[in-house]
Structure formats: C-alpha cells, structure tokens
Amino acid sequence: MSLDVQTLCYFTTDRNIINNQVVIEEFTHELFLGENELTTSNGKVYPYTQLYDCCYRQLSGTIYFLQLYTISGIITFQTNQNPKSFIDAIFAKKGL
C-alpha cells in the first residue's frame, strides 16, 4: 500500500471457471494524481475538467469504494486504503 497522497492503490478482481473450478485473481493498480488529471496505471485518463465530484464509501473494515463522478458516468475503484486524503488532494488540485 502506498502512503503517498499522490497515488492510490486499487484492485480489480477477475473470476473465471477453469476445469470446473472457480479461479479468483486480484490485480493491483495505481491511480495517479497529476497536475490536470487523474491517470490509472493502465493508461486511462480522467481530466479534472470532466470530474464533477468524488466520494468514498467504506464497504467493510478494510475495503473502500472510491467513486468519481465524471461526464461519462460514475467510475468506481475498490481499494484497501482510506481514500479521504486522496480525495482532499483532488479537491485541492481542482481549486475547490
């Protein structure tokens, strides 16, 4: 887990059935806080001009959902870190 407010680690989960067995794989990614946009480690870019709001919900003791409200819809990232300081940094970059 990253402690830097400029990045937020998030994960995705793939579930597949292989040889009649459910195989669950977790992949870790990062969300980078840039000067004018948020960028994922797999190259998706979310400019601040297209970001209306963001919030988070705690699903359990260690799982959080970070939600970005964009002109394209709501983008959700699942993370093990409390994203409050990351959201505060986003609002500071946007000038809110």
Q: What is the CATH number of the domain that holds 22?
A: 2.30.29.30
Number of domains in the chain: 1
Q: How many CB atoms lie within 10 A of CB 3?
A: 7
Compute the distance between CA of residue 94 and CA of residue 3 in angstroms, rounded to an integer: 21
SS3 at position 90? helix
Domain assignment present for 1: no
Domain assignment present for 59: yes
The label of the residue with tokens 């993370």 reads 79
In tens, the pLDDT along 31-84 reads 999 989 999 998 999 999 999 999 999 998 899 999 999 999 999 999 999 999
Domain assignment present for 58: yes
Domain assignment present for 2: no
pTM over 0.75: yes
Q: Which domain holds residue 75?
A: 7-94
Q: In what order do the strands lie in the sheet with 7-18?
A: 45-47, 37-40, 21-33, 7-18, 73-79, 64-70, 51-58
